[in-house]
Structure 1
Amino acid sequence: MSIIIILIIVFGTAVSVFTFFIVKSVLAPKKVASLADLVKQNKNTQAIRTAKHIISNEPRSSEAHYLLAKALEQDGKAELALMEMKTVSHINEFKGYCKENEFRPRIAALYQQFNFPDEALKDYLLLIKLEPYNANYYFQAGVLFEKRKKNSQAANYYKKTIDLDPRNSEAHFNLGTLLYKGKRYNDAKIILAKALKLKPDNYKAHFYLGRMYKETQNYTSAIQSFEQAQKDSEFKIKALIERGICYIAIQNYEKGATELERAVKLSLEKPDDSTLFARYYLAMCHEKRRDIDRAIEQWEAIYNTKQSFKDVAEKLSQFQELRENDSMKDYLTTSNQEFLNLCTRLMEVMNLSISDQNLTPMGCQIIATEKTTGQWRNTKKMPHLIRFYRITDSIDHQQVREFHEEIQKLKASRGIMITSALFTRAAKDFTESRPIELIEKGKLQELLDRAEKVILKK
Structure 2
Amino acid sequence: MNRNHEAFQLWEKGEFNEAIQLLIEEINDNPANSDSYYNLATMFILGKKYEDAKAILETAIEKYPENSIFVYAFGNLYYEIEDYSTSLTYFNQVIQFTETPLKKDAMVMIGQNFLALNQSKKALAYFLSAYEEDPLDLTVILIIGNTLMETGSFNEAKHYFELSIEQAPKNDEAWFKRGVVGMALKEEDHSVKHYFNKAKELNPITYGKRIDQLQSIEAVIKTQEE
Q: Place the TM-score, normalised by the shorter chain, in its bin.
A: 0.7 to 0.9
**Within 5 Å, which residues of 2 pair with 1:18-97?**
82=1
User: Which of the pair is proportionally richer in helix?
Assistant: 2
- The unaligned stretches of length 5 or more in structure 1 are 1-81, 83-106, 316-359, 364-458
Residue 280 of structure 1 pairs with residue 181 of structure 2: no
Structure 1 letter corresponding to 2:58: K
Relative to the length of structure 2, the TM-score reads 0.75
Structure 1 residues 277 and 183 mapped into 2: Cα distance closer, same or farther (>3 Å)?
farther
Given candidates 77, 84, 108, the residue that maps to 2:3 is 108
Relative to the length of structure 1, the TM-score reads 0.40
Structure 2 letter corresponding to 1:172: V
Q: How many Å separate the matches in 2 of 1:120 and 1:240?
A: 34
Match of 2:220 in 1: none
Secondary structure in 2 aligned to 1:230? helix
Match of 1:193 in 2: 92
**Within 5 Å, which residues of 2 pair with 1:283-298?**
283-291=179-187, 292-298=189-195
Given candidates 217, 242, 256, the residue that maps to 2:157 is 256
Q: Is the 8 A contact 1:108 1:121 kept in 2?
A: no
Q: Is the 8 A contact 1:136 1:161 kept in 2?
A: no
CA RMSD in angstroms, aligned pairs only: 3.2
Q: How many Å separate the matches in 1 of 2:177 and 2:59?
A: 41
Q: How many Å separate the matches in 2 of 1:187 and 1:286?
A: 38
Q: How many Å separate the matches in 2 of 1:130 and 1:200?
A: 28
Q: How many Å separate the matches in 1 of 2:143 and 2:73?
A: 20
Given candidates 109, 112, 115, the residue that maps to 1:208 is 109
Q: Is the 8 A contact 2:37 2:60 kept in 1?
A: yes
Deviation per residue, 1:190-246 (Å, 9 max, x gap): 011111212455211111111122233333322221123236669922211121122
Deviation per residue, 1:391-414 (Å, 9 max, x gap): xxxxxxxxxxxxxxxxxxxxxxxx
Q: How many Å separate the matches in 2 of 1:223 and 1:279?
A: 21
Given candidates 198, 204, 207, the residue that maps to 1:307 is 204
Secondary structure in 2 aligned to 1:295? helix
Deviation per residue, 1:31-57 (Å, 9 max, x gap): xxxxxxxxxxxxxxxxxxxxxxxxxxx
Q: How many Å separate the matches in 2 of 1:262 and 1:232?
A: 16
Q: Is the 8 A contact 2:57 2:74 kept in 1?
A: yes
Match of 1:349 in 2: none
Deviation (angstroms), 1:131? 5.6
Given candidates 266, 271, 274, the residue that maps to 2:167 is 266
Deviation (angstroms), 1:160? 2.0
Q: How many Å separate the matches in 1 of 2:115 and 2:71?
A: 21
User: Which of the pair is proportionally richer in strand?
Assistant: 1
Match of 1:159 in 2: 58
Structure 1 residues 145 and 217 mapped into 2: Cα distance closer, same or farther (>3 Å)?
closer
Mark the structure with the bigger radius of gyration: 1
Match of 1:184 in 2: 83
Identity %: 14
Q: How many Å separate the matches in 2 of 1:287 and 1:156?
A: 50
Structure 1 residues 249 and 190 mapped into 2: Cα distance closer, same or farther (>3 Å)?
same
Match of 1:243 in 2: 144
Q: Is the 8 A contact 2:84 2:117 kept in 1?
A: no
- The unaligned stretches of length 5 or more in structure 2 are 215-222
Structure 2 letter corresponding to 1:111: E
Which structure has more relative contact order (CA 8 Å, sep 6+)? It is: 2
Number of positions where the alignment pairs a residue of Structure 1 with one of Structure 2: 208
Secondary structure in 1 aligned to 2:9? coil
Q: How many Å separate the matches in 2 of 1:108 and 1:197?
A: 32
Structure 2 letter corresponding to 1:262: L
Q: How many Å separate the matches in 1 of 2:114 and 2:48?
A: 26
**Within 5 Å, which residues of 2 pair with 1:360-379?**
361-362=224-225
Deviation (angstroms), 1:188? 0.5
Structure 1 residues 233 and 145 mapped into 2: Cα distance closer, same or farther (>3 Å)?
farther
Q: How many Å separate the matches in 1 of 2:123 and 2:111?
A: 4
Given candidates 122, 129, 134, the residue that maps to 1:221 is 122
